[in-house]
Amino acid sequence: MSSVGEQLASARQSKDWTAEDVARLTKLRTDHVLAIEQGRYQVFSAPVYARGSVKSYAKLVNLDPAALVEQLNAEIKAEKPFERGEPLQGAERGFIEGIAYALSRIPWKLVFILIVIIAVLGGALWGMDRYEAYKNSDPLQDLPTGFYQPEAALSEEYLPEPSQVP
């Protein structure tokens, strides 16, 4: 009994189609078509994708999809191409990788918006404080003491200087 891939490849060749023709007609990728024909099912990320691709391919070349999917399930169980021996969690992260991972999980758009809101509110509070301080201060406080010196002698229509008042 030939494998699923061999049956599909021989049916394709009997119709004088290329792998690219099958890929175009089934909307599969060419490398997936070739992987099915070669029995390399680990190319697919899960068995369900391999089953769906084999079913589409079988319908195109007029083979029984149900029988081929059953045979495919037997091949997958025998070869176990989707079982991974590695753990679900990767190796322990170092200090830098841990910080980089933590920083990648931060919603930076939200943080940026909060920083802008805090800066605007802080600026408004600071401006209100400066305005109140200006409003309550004496405007002549920082002026130096001045004195009055008229340029010319004043006539009687002007008031005398304060030092000359009896």
Instruction: Check: CB of residue 39 under 8 Å from CB of residue 48.
Output: no
Please determine, for residue 59, whether its predicted confidence score (pLDDT) is greater than 90: yes
User: How is the chain split into domains, by residue range?
Assistant: 4-79, 97-135
Please determine, for residue 49, whether its predicted confidence score (pLDDT) is greater than 60: yes
pLDDT at 26: 92
69-80 average pLDDT score: 86
CB neighbours of 82 closer than 8 A, spacing ≥ 6?
41, 42, 46, 47, 76
Neighbouring CB atoms inside 10 A of 153's CB total 6
Better-scored residue on pLDDT, 10 or 78:
10
- What class has domain 4-79? mainly alpha
Q: 17: which 2 tokens?
A: 């189609």
Instruction: Check: CB of residue 62 under 8 Å from CB of residue 52.
Output: no
pLDDT by residue (tens digit) across 87-109?
545 567 788 888 888 888 899 99
pTM reported for the whole predicted model? 0.51
Mean pLDDT of the chain: 83
pLDDT by residue (tens digit) across 21-42?
999 999 999 999 999 999 888 8
Please determine, for residue 128, whether its predicted confidence score (pLDDT) is greater than 90: yes
CB neighbours of 23 closer than 8 A, spacing ≥ 6?
29, 30, 32, 33
